[in-house]
Amino acid sequence: MEPVKLGIIGVGWVAQVIHFPILVKLPDVKIVSLCDVNRSRAQLVGEKYGIKHIYSDVHAMLQTEDISAVLICTPTDTHLDLVLACLAAGKDILVEKPIARSHREAVQMADAARDAKRNLMVGMNLRFRPDTMLLKSFIEGKELGNIFYASIGWLTKRQSDSKWAMKKEKAGGGVFMDTGNVLLDMALWMMGYPEVARVKANHFNQKSKQVEDTSLVTLTLSNGAAIRIESSWSLCLQDEIYYGHFYGPEGTASLNPLRIHREQYGNVVNLAPAKMDSPQAMFKRSYENELKHFLAAVQGFHPLISTADEATHRMRIVEAVYKAARLGKEVVIA
- Closest by Cα among 102, 328, 101 to 203: 328
Q: Which pTM value belongs to this model? A: 0.96
Spell out the alpha helix ranges (H) of 118-202: 130-140, 168-171, 175, 181-190
φ/ψ region of 192 (left if φ > 0, alpha if ψ in -120 to 50, else beta) reads left
pLDDT at 190: 95
pLDDT per residue as tens, the chain (334 positions)? 899 999 999 999 999 999 999 999 999 999 999 999 999 999 999 999 999 999 999 999 999 889 999 999 999 999 999 999 999 999 999 999 999 999 999 999 999 999 999 999 999 999 999 999 999 999 999 999 999 999 999 999 887 667 899 999 999 999 999 999 999 999 999 999 999 999 999 999 998 889 999 999 999 999 999 999 999 999 999 999 999 999 999 999 999 999 999 998 889 999 999 899 998 999 999 999 999 999 999 999 999 999 999 999 999 999 999 999 999 999 999 7
Convert 114-142 to b/e letters by CB count within 10 Å (16 or more is b). eebebbbbbbbbbbbbbbbebbbebbeee
Give the span between the Cα atoms of 185 and 110, in whole angstroms: 17
Spell out the alpha helix ranges (H) of 96-240: 103-116, 130-140, 168-171, 175, 181-190
pLDDT at 288: 98
- Cβ within 8 Å of residue 308, ≥6 positions away: 99, 106, 109, 110, 113, 120, 121, 122
Residue 288, CA atoms < 13 Å, CB-side half-sphere:
13
pLDDT at 161: 65
**Phi and psi of 241, rounded to 5°?**
-125, 120
Give the span between the Cα atoms of 248 and 139, in whole angstroms: 9
Relative orientation angle of helices 308-327 and 181-190, to the nearest 10 degrees: 120
> 3-class SS at 332?
strand
> 3-class SS at 210?
coil
CB 333 within 8 A of CB 316: yes
pLDDT at 334: 75
pLDDT at 160: 66
| List of domains in the chain | 4-124 (3.40.50.720), 127-287+313-332 (3.30.360.10)
CB 133 within 8 A of CB 126: no
- Closest by Cα among 327, 318, 328 to 196: 318
Give the span between the Cα atoms of 129 and 288, in whole angstroms: 9
Give the span between the Cα atoms of 133 and 139, in whole angstroms: 10
